[in-house]
Amino acid sequence: MLKALSVAALLSVGASTTCPSNVKVLDTLDLHKYPGVWYEVASQNLAFLSGCSCSRYGYKMTGAQTFDDHFSCTSKGKASAISLILKGQIPDLTKPAVQKESPLFSFLPTAPYLVLEVGKDYEYAVVYACVQLPFGKTVQTTYIFHRNSQALTKSLIDLDGIKTRLTAQGIDVSLIIPVPQPADCIYPSETDPVQIRTGSGQVMAMNATLQAQKETAQGSYKCIDKWKRCTDQWCNDNCNHNPRFCPPSYCRGAATPTPAPAPPAPKPDPLEKCPGDTILGTSFFDEKNENVHKAYKLVCCPASCGDCAGKDCATRPGGAKNCCGRTIVGKSPQAKCGSAPCVLGDPPPPEAAVVNVVV
């Protein structure tokens, strides 16, 4: 009885006595495109999460039918005050949109994870769950995800249209509200402790040892190029890449002492910098789509990709044709790089100097 009362208080149980019966999930779901970072831009969420902002999920396949879903949010002004990994599974691969996740607390029932909608380029998703509780009550959650945290303010998603379609399926949308995603949100890295703080301030830690061990071999780098041809993200991607590509004139280990000033570098050709607000990336593949095991070409991706080339590039908004270096090199002629995606040119010399790696 006490457990049931605790659940009701924690989850804000709805007045409905049954879950809707005609909810239709997607017939197909590409499990290669769906994983990645999802920002919660609107939702009807659990009561104790209703005060969250900067809510983000990192969905990662861990097996053919299993996944991790790393949730984090800012609560009571503290960034990543709630950060935990939910364990998920896909019971039947012929119905990939019907998934389920582990509960936040051991006494809660396993939660359904039903994917009702995705965008053409997997730029947004709608996920729904309804759990039947004792005493004829239900708990309903609806999540509107987007790859861009500013999707609502930039009108990248039709929230009213989504609500209309949900209503047609018998889903109550009256409690779906926007989730604050200010531009200065701070999100946790994968090495941050996985934890959830209760209302009393008690911290319940979860083990993230395996992920931390994986990441400790990688260093943190900053772009030091005078002409701003790189970014910190580009340096981190390439200095930690295997094979490593870390030009000392471009990147430096974050904790490495500042070296003596070098002689002024000549002004680079305009083609050495990506145009506008596009993003620099590196392709390790040639025009024949063969891995040459070294930096082959510099490429430029649209800003909407979030990052350019590298792991999981095909899952970013815009897909492989805009965000993957190997695809851009294979399809874009090397001419003047006026707009992304495009091939910028040859990479700078790798140089012999060694950059310290901070771990």
Three-state DSSP state, 253: strand
Domain boundaries, the chain: 2-213, 221-259+267-345
Is residue 131 over pLDDT 80? yes
Residues 6+ apart with CB under 8 A from 258: none
Give tens-digit pLDDT for 157-192: 999 999 999 999 999 999 999 999 998 888 876 544
Give tens-digit pLDDT for 62-118: 899 999 998 888 887 787 788 888 889 999 999 999 999 986 655 556 789 999 999
Structure tokens at 198: 């209760």
Please report the pLDDT score of residue 77 as a whole number: 78
Give tens-digit pLDDT for 270-282: 446 788 888 899 9
| 88, containing H or E segment | strand 78-89
Are 129 and 166 in contact by the 8 Å Cβ rule? The answer is: no
Give the integer Cα–Cα distance in Å for 353 and 358: 16
Count other C-beta atoms under 10 Å from residue 47's C-beta.
13
In the block, residue with structure tokens 């509200």: 177
Give the integer Cα–Cα distance in Å for 46 and 101: 15
For all residues of the chain together, what is the average pLDDT?
78
Query: For the domain 2-213, what is the CATH code?
Result: 2.40.128.20
Backbone phi and psi for residue 144, each to the nearest 5 degrees, phi listed first: -110, 110
Please report the pLDDT score of residue 251 as a whole number: 86
Q: What type of residue is 133? A: L
CA neighbours within 13 Å on the CB side: how many for 307? 19
Give the integer Cα–Cα distance in Å for 342 and 275: 10
pTM for this predicted structure = 0.53
